[in-house]
Amino acid sequence: QVHLVASGGGLVQAGDSLRLSCAASGRTFRTDSVGWFRQGPGKERESVAGITWSGANTLFGDSVKGRFTISRDNTKNTVYLQMNSLKPEDTAVYYCAAGSSPFIATMARGYDYWGQGTQVTVSS
């Protein structure tokens, strides 16, 4: 079992930055791929970013490319989502997820474990 805790959300203004963290406990998730998803008001959950276990490969959704980066520190069992140049449309609950696949899944069913979500609100 892997227990994930997402944190770092908050209320910011457009153009600001935030860094989300996804901390894992339980068995190590050093060999898991990790993804970040978000779900805005009245919207479906969408894939934001993903990273393989080594950190060598990353993937981003079209709406965040060039603004968000993802990284991981396996010594701390933590994955980070750096969000820059935030826009009001980035407002959502952000979830991290971990899965044993060596590939980055962009669908929620590709992950076995989910964090509880952290709210990001971007005001205009």
Q: What are phi and psi of 89, to 5 degrees?
A: -70, -5
Per-chain mean pLDDT for the chain: 94
The number of angstroms, rounded, from the C-alpha of 70 to the middle of its chain's C-alpha atoms is 8
Is pLDDT larger for residue 28 or for residue 101?
A: 101
pLDDT at 101: 84
> What pLDDT band is residue 2 in, cutting at 50, 70 and 90?
confident
Q: Where are the beta strands (DSSP E) in the chain?
A: 2-7, 10-13, 18-26, 33-39, 46-51, 58-60, 68-73, 78-83, 92-99, 113-114, 118-123
Computed on alpha carbons and rounded to an integer, the radius of gyration of the chain in Å comes to 13
For residue 13, name the pLDDT band (cuts at 50, 70, 90): very high
Going by pLDDT thresholds of 50, 70 and 90, the confidence category of residue 15 is: very high
